Structure 1
Amino acid sequence: MSYRDLATRPVLTWALVAVGARAPVAMAPLAVVFMVRDRPGGYTLGAVLAAVYVLGEIVGAPLLGMRLRAERARPHLALGLAGGAVGFTALGLAHDAHPLVLCAAAFVAGAAPAATSGGLRAMLAAMVPERAVPQAVSGESMLIFGIWSAAPAVTTWLALSVRPYLPMLVAAALMAAAVPGLWALPEGWRADTADRDGEPMRRVLWRAWPVYVTGAAGISLLALAELVLPALLEQRGIGIGWAGPLLAGFSAGSAAGALVYGLRTWPGALRLQSLVLLLAVSGCVALVALLPGAVWLAVFLVVAGVLQAGAMLTRNLLLREVLPPSALAAGYSVMYAAVGAGYAVTGTLSGVLLRWVSPSTAILAGVGLTLLLTVLGVLREPARDPAPQPAGSLPAARKVRR
């Protein structure tokens, strides 16, 4: 197992397309806040627009992902990215428009390209040898963590140093630039729908619902770290300016964790790895809530980031075990919606709890919710059909031809 199999021109081209498709997603929540913050009630409107954007992703990912077909993946993804570019352009050019107009544009910007993540992941897996799929998924995670680390700083600089609406136009340009890049990639991937034995796509995807639940559980820990951290710092008497460096450490830990996970085969089945990693991340986040001092916060946030990356990767690899190849792109899209919903629910719960309890108590309540979802998902995960394989390997019977 080596990352050398990823050092090819098609994979590098895929990475450039993925940056164009994913960077706007990372920029959007903060960008809408900066865009309208100078209007009356600007911060409230920004929060609403960010919520509408995420709602668009949650709605669009499963609806469009289930319609994504391997033989016409490229035009499907192109239309989604073009629609997202239109939505971002409308937000940037009509930044002074009525809030309902901005909400409609935010919803389109979130919903139209929502199936792109799943489609690009399925395309990447078909571009590399089967033995390199775990490394490909790890490499994708490192790329995404890198994007999410850089996007806030870039968005803030553009909005505060140039124009408040400029991040929207940059996001639109990036997403539009990704469209022609799709034609430098394979047309799609080979997946015979006969592997579903005539079973409807909706029913096939429903069988994997426990995997989506544990995916939502994992992202809820990220929501706790990001959204409650500033309030926790104030409770601890630590300067709120430390929030940025601490979250950067979390992201750096996640990138390192993704790299390390792909370097070797790990013992135990994927579902066991996932359970252990989720419990470990939960423990780290709980310690963040309980231990005083910026040093301890930094240490356990970095460790949580390392473990969080492994938990996310095992979820994506486990989908390849429980879904047939023809349903993988749709399954990835549903997972995308599930983690978005998990983030939104945890963020909302934390915001409500902060009105009545301390930040540390709110974090512990969120950890409790995560553990409940984890246990529910792990206990109900579907049995794996093929013979057991070591972690990081994939069933030979489901090998995707290139």
Structure 2
Amino acid sequence: MTAVGYRSIATKQVYVWSVAALANKLPISMAPLACVFLARERPGGYALGATLAAVWVVAEVVGAPVLGLLFRPERAAFHLALGLGTGAVAYAALFFGPSLPTPAVVALVFLAGFGPAATPGGMRALLTELVPERDVSKVLSAEVVLNGLVWAGAPPLVTFVALATGPGVPFAVAAALDVAALCLVMVLPTGRRGGSAGDGRAPVAGGADPEDTPSALGLLVRAWPVYLTAAASMAMLSTMELVLPALVEYRGMDVGTAAPLLMVFWVSCVAGGVVYGRRSWPGGVRRQSLVCLLVTTVALTSVALLPGAVGMGFGLAVGGAFQAAVLVTRNLSLRERLPAASHTAGYAIMYAATGVGYSIVAASSALVLTFLSPAAAVLGGGMVTLVIVAAGGLAERERPRGKGGTGKAGTGTAETAGTGRRAAAEPSGEAWPGGLRRWVNQRTP
């Protein structure tokens, strides 16, 4: 491994993007808890708040792939402005939520989740356009650090604002942040590498028959192993966040110990992102992703067995550090599999996959807790995650074959004209039956 550092990405454009991303990510991390405070004094109370938060999450999960597939890199500024503007309008209307009827609040919450759902993926694709290819892993690591800081800071921010001012004010703050992000996005260059995706097809390698070139949807479908590992990466996280308070109390400790233990995880995640981005690491990013996901799963599962707060904190610290590497490497793996024009759609689908993974395991953990101990719930979540990791590993081991029949992963890619970058048009048939592949391509415009 070779030390590299972050100095090469310290540019004006990256700084502007960082402020815009902060303004974009804060409303996303604030919204679920803000929904709870909005409903706290309404009929239905916390139950209604939980329902509103669930509506917001469902809207994001639905909106991310739908809007991501419509996203065109050459019109990135327009798509980002539309998403951020929609979010700003919905959040501004929710400022008046305490006086609105419940159906109107539900509709606005859904719009607030759906409208900007593709902006995180679009912002990530925009970030990778602002730096040379050799610095992509560094900026993605920096984004993981920013994510960790945002998700650590959003809950106390929402709590303070809602209790000190009013239940609708956090949404007014979210609206102002989305407007700020919109203004900053408009000054950044967009669409420099995306090319045109107007025909819905991937870039064609030299001499290849355009009719044999897979469609954009076909390429997105073939990236399913990355989506699977993305869902797995959130599975154990959901188990820990939801079961840890019960586990701490089950161990005979004060339930308040859960908060600093979760803080250990997020601080370790931030530190892990910094360390990963500072160096280049041996092995391909797909192998790195699976290894780090395996270590994360084992470390977090061990929290159910390690003694005392110190032992639990150690497991969370190790899991957090490797979780950061998982977050970076899964994005790099997706970039390897997809051409530049499909990056935003791929990021959006992966974002939805993480939400689905989080929700399914969260519901499963709640069900298990009604019958078994918290430790059993953590161990069960770990076993489910390991099964998903194993499935992803088997899918990654399927060696794609190009027309040359070499069987090596990485063949079949084409050099994108003018950039020297490989447009990762995955060779046909990776882990998918040929008939299904042809069926998808024939029915995609």
TM-score tier (shorter): over 0.9
Q: 1:232 aligns with which of 247, 258, 272?
A: 247
SS state of the match for residue 422, structure 2? helix
Q: Is the 8 A contact 2:42 2:98 kept in 1?
A: no
**Greater percentage in helix:** 1
Task: Show structure 2 runs of 5+ residues with no match.
Answer: 205-209, 401-408, 414-418, 425-445
Does residue 1:357 correspond to 2:360, yes or no? no
Change (3 A) 1:211 1:325: same
What is the aligned partner in structure 1 of residue 92 from structure 2? Answer: 89
What is the aligned partner in structure 1 of residue 24 from structure 2? Answer: 21
What is the aligned partner in structure 2 of residue 152 from structure 1? Answer: 155
1:141 CA drift (Å)? 0.8
Does residue 1:52 correspond to 2:55, yes or no? yes
Alignment-mate amino acid for residue 247 of structure 1: L
Q: Is the 8 A contact 2:129 2:190 kept in 1?
A: no
Q: Is the 8 A contact 2:203 2:423 kept in 1?
A: no
1:277 CA drift (Å)? 1.0
Does residue 1:219 correspond to 2:234, yes or no? yes
Alignment-mate amino acid for residue 120 of structure 1: M
What is the aligned partner in structure 2 of residue 172 from structure 1? Answer: 175
Q: 2:46 aligns with which of 43, 47, 50?
A: 43
The count of corresponding residues between Structure 1 and Structure 2 is 394
Structure ID, larger Rg: 2
For residues 267-307 of structure 1, what are the alpha-carbon distances to aligned partners after superposition, in whole Å with 9 as ceiling and x for unaligned? 11222211211111111111111223111111211111101
Q: Is the 8 A contact 1:289 1:360 kept in 2?
A: yes
What is the aligned partner in structure 1 of residue 194 from structure 2? Answer: 191
Alignment-mate amino acid for residue 385 of structure 1: G
Change (3 A) 1:75 1:387: closer
Counterpart CA distance in 2 for 1:315 and 1:39 is 41
Counterpart CA distance in 2 for 1:124 and 1:100 is 38
For residues 225-263 of structure 1, what are the alpha-carbon distances to aligned partners after superposition, in whole Å with 9 as ceiling and x for unaligned? 211111111111211212221111111110111111111
Counterpart CA distance in 2 for 1:136 and 1:374 is 26
Counterpart CA distance in 2 for 1:113 and 1:133 is 24
Alignment-mate amino acid for residue 229 of structure 2: T
Counterpart CA distance in 2 for 1:87 and 1:191 is 30
% identical aligned pairs: 45
Change (3 A) 1:258 1:242: same
Q: 2:410 aligns with which of 380, 385, 390?
A: 385
SS state of the match for residue 279, structure 2? coil
Counterpart CA distance in 2 for 1:164 and 1:298 is 34
Does residue 1:142 correspond to 2:145, yes or no? yes
Counterpart CA distance in 2 for 1:96 and 1:295 is 47
Q: Is the 8 A contact 1:45 1:99 kept in 2?
A: no
SS state of the match for residue 284, structure 1? helix
Counterpart CA distance in 1 for 2:17 and 2:191 is 12
What is the aligned partner in structure 1 of residue 37 from structure 2? Answer: 34
SS state of the match for residue 393, structure 2? helix
Counterpart CA distance in 2 for 1:295 and 1:32 is 34
SS state of the match for residue 138, structure 1? helix
TM-score by length of 1: 0.94
Change (3 A) 1:160 1:69: same
Counterpart CA distance in 2 for 1:105 and 1:387 is 46
What is the aligned partner in structure 2 of residue 391 from structure 1? Answer: none
Paired residues for 1:235-254 under 5 Å:
235-254=250-269
Q: 2:217 aligns with which of 185, 202, 218?
A: 202
Q: Which has the higher contact order (CA 8 A, sep 6+)?
A: 1
Q: Is the 8 A contact 2:59 2:110 kept in 1?
A: yes
Counterpart CA distance in 2 for 1:83 and 1:387 is 40
Counterpart CA distance in 2 for 1:220 and 1:4 is 34
Please say which of residues 190-199 and 45-54 is displaced more in the overlay.
190-199
Q: Is the 8 A contact 2:91 2:112 kept in 1?
A: yes
Counterpart CA distance in 2 for 1:245 and 1:99 is 36
Does residue 1:336 correspond to 2:351, yes or no? yes
1:162 CA drift (Å)? 2.1
For residues 195-234 of structure 1, what are the alpha-carbon distances to aligned partners after superposition, in whole Å with 9 as ceiling and x for unaligned? 1655332211000011101100001111112111111111
What is the aligned partner in structure 1 of residue 117 from structure 2? Answer: 114
Task: Show structure 1 runs of 5+ residues with no match.
Answer: 389-393
1:81 CA drift (Å)? 0.6
Change (3 A) 1:100 1:352: farther
Alignment-mate amino acid for residue 36 of structure 2: V
Alignment-mate amino acid for residue 294 of structure 1: A
Counterpart CA distance in 2 for 1:395 and 1:270 is 20
Alignment-mate amino acid for residue 49 of structure 1: L
Alignment-mate amino acid for residue 269 of structure 1: G
1:7 CA drift (Å)? 0.7
What is the aligned partner in structure 2 of residue 346 from structure 1? Answer: 361
For residues 54-95 of structure 1, what are the alpha-carbon distances to aligned partners after superposition, in whole Å with 9 as ceiling and x for unaligned? 101100110001111111000111000111112222222123
What is the aligned partner in structure 2 of residue 73 from structure 1? Answer: 76
Does residue 1:397 correspond to 2:400, yes or no? no
Please say which of residues 180-189 and 302-311 is displaced more in the overlay.
180-189
